Amino acid sequence: MGKIRALVTGGAGFLGSHLCRRLVQEGWEVICMDNLLTGSMDNIADLLGNPLFQFIHYDVTQYVYVPGELHYILHFASPASPKDYLEHPIHTLKVGSLGTHKILGLAKEKKATVLLASTSEVYGDPQVHPQPEDYWGHVNPIGPRGVYDEAKRFMEAMAMAYHRTYGIPIRIARIFNTYGPNMRLNDGRALPNFFCQALKGEPLTVYGDGSQTRSFCYVDDLIEGLWRLLHCDYPYPVNLGNPEEVTILQVAKEIIDLTKSKSKIVFKPLPVNDPKVRRPDISKAKELLNWEPKIPRKEGFKKTLEYFKTQLQHTHAV
C-alpha cells in the first residue's frame, strides 16, 4: 500500500484544521474539504504549500466525489457553536443528515473507515451525571438547539445503519467542550467570548448565575484522542473530553486573572435549553485507547490567550 489518503470534511474549521495538521505530520495525504461557512483559510495557511495537503472548496451536502484511493474519511463539517447553528439552522441539519449520507456513500464505494465528529450535545440537558456513552440523552427536538443535537444524533444513527448493513468501519467521537488556537474570536462560545472581552477590557458576559458547569479539553489532547480512536476497531460512540468540571463563573474569574484585566462580570438570562451540567465519563476512552487529557487548564488557557492576543492585533491592524 502507498501513502495513506484521508478526506477531512470541515478541515478548515477549528478541530478540522488541527486534525489535518496532525495527519500531514504523520505522513498521510490529506484532502481538506470545506465550504468556509464557519471555517477559515487562515487555519490551514501553513499547510497550503505542502505536497501532502490539498484543499477543496466544497459543500459536502452535495454529491461528494474524490478520485483515487481513500482509506479514511473524517467527517467534521458542521457549524459547532450555538451562535453558528442558530444563525444557520437548516445548513446544520443538512450537513448532519445529507452530508453524512454523502460521506457514508463515498466510504462504501472506497471501502474507507469513517470517523464521525459527534458531540456531547447528543446528551442534551443531561439527567445523568457525568455522562457515559450508554446514556440516551435528554434533548428537546424542537427547541432552538435541536437543529444541532438532532443532526448529530441522526448522524450516529445513520452511521450505525451503514455499519450494520454494509460493514463500513465506523468510529464515533462524542466530543466535549474543546478549546485552543484556531477558534474564531466571534465564535460565540464562552471561552472566545471571555478572552476577547477581557483583552478589550469589556465586561465578561455570564449567562444565568454562572453555576452551570462545563469540562474544557485543550485541543492537542483531543486530537491525540481522535488519532487513537481512528486506529481502534470499535464502532460505537466514545466520549472524548476532559472530566475536570468547572463552573462558568469560575472560568470567567480565571480568565480575568490570567489576562490581568480590569473587566467586571455581568449576568444575562440563560439561553433556552442550555445544559446545566456537562462532564464526560471517559472510562471507555481510558480502557480502549489508553487516553486521558494531560494538559492542565491553566497551561491550555495560557496558550489560547497568546493566540487570541495575536488575532486581536491582526483585527485592529486591518
**How distant, in Å, are the alpha carbons of 105, 228, 236, 277 from that of 133?**
26, 18, 9, 16
At residue 307, does pLDDT exceed 60? yes
149 with 103, same domain: the answer is yes
At residue 238, does pLDDT exceed 90? yes
Which residue shows C-alpha cell 463500513? 168
286, 244 Cβ separation under 8 angstroms: no
CB under 8 Å to 31, separation ≥6 — which residues? 5, 6, 7, 8, 54, 56, 66, 70
Domain membership flag for residue 25: yes
197 with 226, same domain: the answer is no
87 with 158, same domain: the answer is yes
- Residues 143-171: tens digit of each pLDDT: 999 999 999 999 999 999 999 999 999 99
Domain membership flag for residue 289: no
Domain membership flag for residue 299: yes
For residue 218, report the phi and psi dihedrals to the nearest 5 degrees: -70, 145
pLDDT at 225: 98
CB under 8 Å to 153, separation ≥6 — which residues? 122, 137, 139
Q: What value does the mean pLDDT take over residues 19-45?
A: 97
At residue 1, does pLDDT exceed 70? no
For residue 242, report the phi and psi dihedrals to the nearest 5 degrees: -100, 120
53 with 29, same domain: the answer is yes
Which residue shows C-alpha cell 427536538? 141
107 with 233, same domain: the answer is yes
221 with 302, same domain: the answer is no
Q: What value does the mean pLDDT take over residues 70-81?
A: 96
43, 50 Cβ separation under 8 angstroms: no
At residue 186, does pLDDT exceed 90? no
194 with 136, same domain: the answer is no
98 with 21, same domain: the answer is yes
Domain membership flag for residue 288: no
Average per-residue pLDDT for the chain: 95
Domain membership flag for residue 153: yes
Domain membership flag for residue 286: no
Domain membership flag for residue 20: yes
Domain membership flag for residue 199: yes
Instruction: Give the Cα separation of 179 and 239 in Å (integer).
Output: 16
Q: Is 148 one of the catalytic residues?
A: yes
The percentage of the chain sitting over the pLDDT mark of 90, rounded to a whole number, equals 90
pLDDT at 312: 87
pLDDT at 178: 96
50 with 165, same domain: the answer is yes
- Expressed as residue numbers, the domain containing 161 is 5-178+217-240
149 with 188, same domain: the answer is no
CATH number at 40 reads 3.40.50.720
At residue 318, does pLDDT exceed 60? no
89 with 174, same domain: the answer is yes
Domain count, the chain: 2
- Out of 85, 148, 179, 218, the active site residue is 148
pLDDT at 317: 60
110 with 192, same domain: the answer is no
CATH number at 312 reads 3.90.25.10
Q: What value does the mean pLDDT take over residues 69-97?
A: 95
